[in-house]
Protein backbone atom coordinates (compact mmCIF):
# COMPACT_ATOMS: atom_id res chain seq x y z
CA UNK A 1 0.00 0.00 0.00
CA UNK A 2 1.33 3.40 -0.94
CA UNK A 3 2.05 5.89 1.82
CA UNK A 4 0.95 9.50 1.52
CA UNK A 5 4.57 10.38 0.79
CA UNK A 6 4.71 7.83 -2.05
CA UNK A 7 1.52 9.23 -3.52
CA UNK A 8 2.80 12.81 -3.27
CA UNK A 9 6.05 11.84 -4.99
CA UNK A 10 4.21 10.12 -7.84
CA UNK A 11 1.78 13.03 -8.21
CA UNK A 12 4.76 15.40 -8.36
CA UNK A 13 6.41 13.33 -11.08
CA UNK A 14 3.15 13.26 -13.02
CA UNK A 15 2.86 17.05 -12.88
CA UNK A 16 6.49 17.55 -13.90
CA UNK A 17 5.82 15.44 -17.00
CA UNK A 18 2.42 16.90 -17.86
CA UNK A 19 3.25 20.55 -17.28
CA UNK A 20 6.94 20.56 -18.17
CA UNK A 21 7.87 22.28 -14.93
CA UNK A 22 10.94 21.82 -12.74
CA UNK A 23 10.65 19.51 -9.79
CA UNK A 24 11.58 22.38 -7.47
CA UNK A 25 8.42 24.23 -8.51
CA UNK A 26 6.23 21.46 -7.14
CA UNK A 27 5.14 22.18 -3.61
CA UNK A 28 2.03 20.95 -1.77
CA UNK A 29 0.46 24.42 -1.82
CA UNK A 30 1.40 25.20 -5.46
CA UNK A 31 -1.72 25.96 -7.52
CA UNK A 32 -1.98 24.24 -10.88
CA UNK A 33 -2.98 27.30 -12.87
CA UNK A 34 -1.46 30.19 -10.92
CA UNK A 35 1.87 28.67 -9.89
CA UNK A 36 2.44 25.85 -12.37
CA UNK A 37 0.92 27.47 -15.47
CA UNK A 38 -1.59 24.73 -16.27
CA UNK A 39 -4.16 25.43 -19.00
CA UNK A 40 -7.49 23.70 -19.47
CA UNK A 41 -6.13 21.05 -21.87
CA UNK A 42 -3.52 20.14 -19.27
CA UNK A 43 -6.25 18.86 -16.96
CA UNK A 44 -7.11 16.16 -19.49
CA UNK A 45 -3.44 15.21 -19.71
CA UNK A 46 -3.06 15.14 -15.92
CA UNK A 47 -6.12 12.89 -15.52
CA UNK A 48 -4.73 10.44 -18.09
CA UNK A 49 -1.31 10.33 -16.44
CA UNK A 50 -2.78 9.86 -12.95
CA UNK A 51 -4.94 6.98 -14.20
CA UNK A 52 -1.89 5.34 -15.76
CA UNK A 53 0.41 5.99 -12.81
CA UNK A 54 -1.96 4.78 -10.08
CA UNK A 55 -4.14 2.32 -11.98
CA UNK A 56 -7.32 4.21 -11.07
CA UNK A 57 -10.31 5.36 -13.09
CA UNK A 58 -11.16 9.05 -12.92
CA UNK A 59 -14.64 9.80 -14.29
CA UNK A 60 -15.09 12.99 -16.28
CA UNK A 61 -15.56 16.01 -14.03
CA UNK A 62 -14.76 14.20 -10.78
CA UNK A 63 -11.29 15.63 -10.11
CA UNK A 64 -11.74 18.78 -12.18
CA UNK A 65 -15.47 19.65 -12.18
CA UNK A 66 -16.36 21.58 -15.33
CA UNK A 67 -19.13 23.77 -13.99
CA UNK A 68 -19.90 23.60 -10.31
CA UNK A 69 -22.43 26.41 -9.97
CA UNK A 70 -23.84 26.44 -13.52
CA UNK A 71 -24.58 30.14 -13.31
CA UNK A 72 -27.13 29.55 -10.56
CA UNK A 73 -27.74 32.91 -8.78
CA UNK A 74 -28.64 31.02 -5.61
CA UNK A 75 -25.11 29.67 -5.48
CA UNK A 76 -23.18 32.78 -6.46
CA UNK A 77 -24.17 36.33 -5.66
CA UNK A 78 -22.05 39.40 -6.44
CA UNK A 79 -19.05 37.23 -7.14
CA UNK A 80 -19.31 35.45 -3.78
CA UNK A 81 -20.28 31.84 -3.22
CA UNK A 82 -23.41 31.53 -1.08
CA UNK A 83 -24.11 28.91 1.62
CA UNK A 84 -25.93 26.83 -0.98
CA UNK A 85 -22.93 27.20 -3.30
CA UNK A 86 -20.55 26.11 -0.56
CA UNK A 87 -22.70 23.03 0.08
CA UNK A 88 -22.55 22.22 -3.64
CA UNK A 89 -18.79 22.70 -3.64
CA UNK A 90 -18.42 20.33 -0.68
CA UNK A 91 -20.61 17.76 -2.39
CA UNK A 92 -18.74 17.91 -5.70
CA UNK A 93 -15.26 18.19 -4.23
CA UNK A 94 -15.26 16.29 -0.93
CA UNK A 95 -11.51 15.92 -1.25
CA UNK A 96 -10.88 19.70 -1.27
CA UNK A 97 -9.73 21.66 1.76
CA UNK A 98 -12.16 24.58 1.73
CA UNK A 99 -11.11 26.15 5.05
CA UNK A 100 -9.18 29.01 3.40
CA UNK A 101 -11.70 29.54 0.61
CA UNK A 102 -14.54 29.62 3.13
CA UNK A 103 -13.19 32.95 4.43
CA UNK A 104 -13.21 34.83 1.11
CA UNK A 105 -15.77 32.82 -0.90
CA UNK A 106 -14.47 34.82 -3.85
CA UNK A 107 -15.47 33.09 -7.11
CA UNK A 108 -12.27 34.27 -8.77
CA UNK A 109 -10.27 32.23 -6.29
CA UNK A 110 -11.90 28.91 -7.12
CA UNK A 111 -8.97 27.92 -9.33
CA UNK A 112 -6.65 28.28 -6.32
CA UNK A 113 -8.34 25.24 -4.78
CA UNK A 114 -6.59 23.05 -7.32
CA UNK A 115 -3.23 22.45 -5.73
CA UNK A 116 -0.70 19.64 -5.69
CA UNK A 117 -1.98 18.75 -2.24
CA UNK A 118 -5.57 18.52 -3.49
CA UNK A 119 -4.59 16.05 -6.19
CA UNK A 120 -2.61 14.01 -3.69
CA UNK A 121 -5.61 13.88 -1.37
CA UNK A 122 -7.92 12.95 -4.22
CA UNK A 123 -5.69 10.08 -5.32
CA UNK A 124 -5.31 8.91 -1.74
CA UNK A 125 -9.10 8.74 -1.43
CA UNK A 126 -9.46 6.86 -4.71
CA UNK A 127 -6.84 4.30 -3.70
CA UNK A 128 -8.42 3.85 -0.27
CA UNK A 129 -11.84 3.27 -1.83
CA UNK A 130 -10.51 0.69 -4.23
CA UNK A 131 -8.30 -0.90 -1.52
CA UNK A 132 -5.35 0.35 -3.59
CA UNK A 133 -2.79 -2.31 -3.85
CA UNK A 134 -0.47 -0.78 -6.41
CA UNK B 1 0.25 25.52 -50.63
CA UNK B 2 -1.95 22.53 -49.76
CA UNK B 3 -1.97 21.84 -46.06
CA UNK B 4 -1.75 18.10 -46.16
CA UNK B 5 1.41 16.45 -45.00
CA UNK B 6 0.68 12.80 -45.59
CA UNK B 7 0.51 11.10 -48.97
CA UNK B 8 -0.93 7.72 -48.16
CA UNK B 9 -2.00 5.40 -45.34
CA UNK B 10 0.13 2.28 -44.96
CA UNK B 11 -1.80 0.76 -42.08
CA UNK B 12 -4.90 1.62 -40.07
CA UNK B 13 -6.13 -0.28 -37.03
CA UNK B 14 -9.23 1.35 -35.63
CA UNK B 15 -8.74 3.02 -32.25
CA UNK B 16 -5.25 1.61 -32.06
CA UNK B 17 -2.64 2.52 -34.67
CA UNK B 18 -2.17 4.43 -37.92
CA UNK B 19 0.87 4.57 -40.20
CA UNK B 20 1.21 6.97 -43.09
CA UNK B 21 3.95 7.94 -45.51
CA UNK B 22 5.06 11.27 -46.88
CA UNK B 23 7.45 11.37 -49.83
CA UNK B 24 9.63 14.44 -49.64
CA UNK B 25 10.05 15.73 -53.19
CA UNK B 26 12.60 18.39 -54.03
CA UNK B 27 9.88 19.93 -56.23
CA UNK B 28 7.88 21.01 -53.17
CA UNK B 29 7.65 24.75 -52.60
CA UNK B 30 8.91 24.65 -49.05
CA UNK B 31 12.34 23.40 -50.07
CA UNK B 32 12.95 26.53 -52.11
CA UNK B 33 13.23 28.43 -48.85
CA UNK B 34 14.03 25.80 -46.25
CA UNK B 35 16.83 25.97 -47.17
CA UNK B 36 18.36 26.94 -50.52
CA UNK B 37 20.98 24.24 -51.28
CA UNK B 38 20.00 22.34 -48.12
CA UNK B 39 16.46 21.01 -48.51
CA UNK B 40 15.33 19.90 -45.06
CA UNK B 41 11.77 19.31 -43.86
CA UNK B 42 11.03 21.64 -40.91
CA UNK B 43 10.46 19.67 -37.71
CA UNK B 44 7.22 21.60 -37.16
CA UNK B 45 5.86 20.12 -40.39
CA UNK B 46 6.95 16.65 -39.32
CA UNK B 47 4.86 17.27 -36.21
CA UNK B 48 1.97 18.38 -38.42
CA UNK B 49 2.25 15.12 -40.38
CA UNK B 50 2.15 13.17 -37.11
CA UNK B 51 -0.81 15.25 -35.92
CA UNK B 52 -2.74 14.64 -39.14
CA UNK B 53 -2.07 10.91 -38.89
CA UNK B 54 -3.02 10.82 -35.20
CA UNK B 55 -5.96 13.20 -35.64
CA UNK B 56 -7.58 10.95 -38.22
CA UNK B 57 -6.90 7.92 -36.04
CA UNK B 58 -8.72 9.38 -33.04
CA UNK B 59 -11.37 11.15 -35.13
CA UNK B 60 -12.35 7.88 -36.76
CA UNK B 61 -13.08 6.33 -33.35
CA UNK B 62 -16.18 8.54 -33.18
CA UNK B 63 -16.89 8.29 -36.91
CA UNK B 64 -15.62 11.87 -37.36
CA UNK B 65 -18.48 13.36 -35.36
CA UNK B 66 -16.07 15.22 -33.06
CA UNK B 67 -14.04 18.19 -34.19
CA UNK B 68 -10.56 17.04 -33.21
CA UNK B 69 -8.16 19.91 -32.61
CA UNK B 70 -4.43 19.69 -31.93
CA UNK B 71 -4.18 21.08 -28.41
CA UNK B 72 -0.83 20.20 -26.91
CA UNK B 73 2.49 18.62 -27.73
CA UNK B 74 3.82 17.54 -24.37
CA UNK B 75 7.19 16.51 -25.69
CA UNK B 76 8.91 16.18 -29.04
CA UNK B 77 12.42 15.06 -29.83
CA UNK B 78 14.18 14.67 -33.16
CA UNK B 79 17.41 12.78 -33.66
CA UNK B 80 18.11 13.88 -37.21
CA UNK B 81 16.73 15.88 -40.11
CA UNK B 82 14.47 14.62 -42.89
CA UNK B 83 15.81 15.59 -46.32
CA UNK B 84 14.29 15.92 -49.80
CA UNK B 85 14.31 12.57 -51.54
CA UNK B 86 13.49 10.61 -48.40
CA UNK B 87 10.23 8.88 -47.47
CA UNK B 88 9.00 9.77 -44.00
CA UNK B 89 6.74 7.36 -42.14
CA UNK B 90 4.45 8.70 -39.41
CA UNK B 91 3.28 6.13 -36.86
CA UNK B 92 0.78 7.02 -34.16
CA UNK B 93 -0.58 4.86 -31.37
CA UNK B 94 -3.66 5.75 -29.33
CA UNK B 95 -2.94 6.39 -25.65
CA UNK B 96 -6.54 7.25 -24.81
CA UNK B 97 -9.75 8.59 -26.30
CA UNK B 98 -12.11 10.27 -23.85
CA UNK B 99 -15.19 12.47 -24.35
CA UNK B 100 -13.06 15.58 -23.78
CA UNK B 101 -10.16 14.66 -26.04
CA UNK B 102 -7.50 12.15 -26.94
CA UNK B 103 -3.78 11.49 -26.92
CA UNK B 104 -1.44 9.64 -29.26
CA UNK B 105 2.20 8.63 -29.07
CA UNK B 106 3.92 9.40 -32.36
CA UNK B 107 7.06 8.11 -34.05
CA UNK B 108 8.73 9.43 -37.19
CA UNK B 109 10.80 6.93 -39.18
CA UNK B 110 12.96 6.96 -42.29
CA UNK B 111 14.05 3.61 -43.72
CA UNK B 112 12.71 1.97 -40.55
CA UNK B 113 15.04 4.07 -38.41
CA UNK B 114 13.48 6.22 -35.69
CA UNK B 115 14.29 9.89 -36.29
CA UNK B 116 11.76 11.56 -34.01
CA UNK B 117 9.13 11.05 -31.31
CA UNK B 118 6.31 13.16 -29.93
CA UNK B 119 3.29 12.89 -27.67
CA UNK B 120 0.28 14.77 -28.98
CA UNK B 121 -2.93 15.68 -27.15
CA UNK B 122 -6.09 16.55 -29.05
CA UNK B 123 -9.14 18.36 -27.72
CA UNK B 124 -12.67 17.68 -28.83
CA UNK B 125 -13.99 21.11 -29.57
CA UNK B 126 -16.90 21.82 -27.27
CA UNK B 127 -19.93 20.69 -29.23
CA UNK B 128 -22.39 23.38 -28.28
CA UNK B 129 -19.87 26.15 -28.78
CA UNK B 130 -18.44 24.80 -32.02
CA UNK B 131 -21.90 24.52 -33.52
CA UNK B 132 -22.51 28.15 -32.66
CA UNK B 133 -19.25 29.27 -34.23
CA UNK B 134 -18.78 26.88 -37.12
CA UNK B 135 -22.19 25.36 -37.82
CA UNK B 136 -22.79 21.67 -38.39
CA UNK B 137 -20.01 21.12 -40.88
CA UNK B 138 -16.96 19.31 -39.56
CA UNK B 139 -14.23 21.56 -40.93
CA UNK B 140 -11.47 19.33 -39.54
CA UNK B 141 -12.30 16.12 -41.32
CA UNK B 142 -13.25 17.01 -44.83
CA UNK B 143 -12.06 16.32 -48.34
CA UNK B 144 -8.59 14.94 -48.79
CA UNK B 145 -7.93 13.72 -45.26
CA UNK B 146 -10.95 11.43 -45.27
CA UNK B 147 -10.39 10.36 -48.87
CA UNK B 148 -6.89 9.24 -47.92
CA UNK B 149 -8.27 7.12 -45.13
CA UNK B 150 -10.80 5.42 -47.41
CA UNK B 151 -7.87 3.85 -49.25
CA UNK B 152 -7.01 1.63 -46.29
CA UNK B 153 -10.27 1.33 -44.36
CA UNK B 154 -12.26 -1.82 -45.08
CA UNK B 155 -15.55 -0.88 -46.75
Short-list A15, A47, A29, A16, CA closest to B100 = A47
Q: Using an 8 Å Cβ cutoff, are A48 and A115 in contact?
A: no
pLDDT at B151: 72
Please judge whether A44 and B100 are an interchain contact, meaning their C-beta atoms are less than 8 angstroms apart: yes
Nearest by CB to A18, from B74, B95, B101: name it. B74
Please indicate whether, in this complex, the C-beta atoms of A20 and B123 are within 8 angstroms of each other: no
Provide the whole-model pTM.
0.84
Mean pLDDT by 10 residues, chain B (155 residues): 86 97 95 94 96 96 91 94 98 94 97 98 74 59 72 65
What pLDDT does residue B3 have? 81
Nearest residue in A to B99, CA atom: A60
For residue A26, name the pLDDT band (cuts at 50, 70, 90): very high
CB contact under 8 A, A48 and B123: no
Contact indicator for B53, B38 with CB cutoff of 8 Å: no
Task: Determine how many CB atoms are found less than 10 A away from the CB of residue B69.
Answer: 16
Chain B touched by A91 (CB under 8 Å): no
Rounded to an integer, the average pLDDT of A6-15 is 97
CB contact under 8 A, B74 and A44: no
- Which of A97-101, A104-108, B144-148 has the lowest average pLDDT? B144-148
Question: What's the whole-number mean pLDDT along residues A28-49?
Answer: 94
Lowest mean pLDDT among A27-31, A53-57, B97-101: B97-101
pLDDT at A126: 95
CA distance B82 to B115: 8
- The interface pTM score, or ipTM, of the predicted complex is 0.78
Distance from CA of A61 to the nearest CA of B (A): 10
CATH code assigned to B8-144: 3.10.129.10
Q: What kind and span of H or E run contains A71?
A: none
How confident is the model over A117-125, as a mean pLDDT? 96
pLDDT of residue B128: 47
The pLDDT, as a whole number, for residue A134 is 43
Q: Is B34 a catalytic residue?
A: yes
From B7, B10, B34, B152, the catalytic residue: B34
How close does chain A come to B148, measured CA to CA in Å? 29
- Of B19, B101, B90, B21, residue with least CA distance to B58: B101
Amino acid sequence: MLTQEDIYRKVSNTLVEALNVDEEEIKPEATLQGDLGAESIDFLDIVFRLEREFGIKIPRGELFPESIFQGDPEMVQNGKVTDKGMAELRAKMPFADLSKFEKSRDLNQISDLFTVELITRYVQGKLANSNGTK
Amino acid sequence: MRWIWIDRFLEFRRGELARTVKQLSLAEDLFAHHFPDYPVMPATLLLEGLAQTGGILVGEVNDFREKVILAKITKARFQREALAGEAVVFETTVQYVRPEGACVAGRVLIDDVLIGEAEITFAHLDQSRSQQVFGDRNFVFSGELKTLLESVRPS
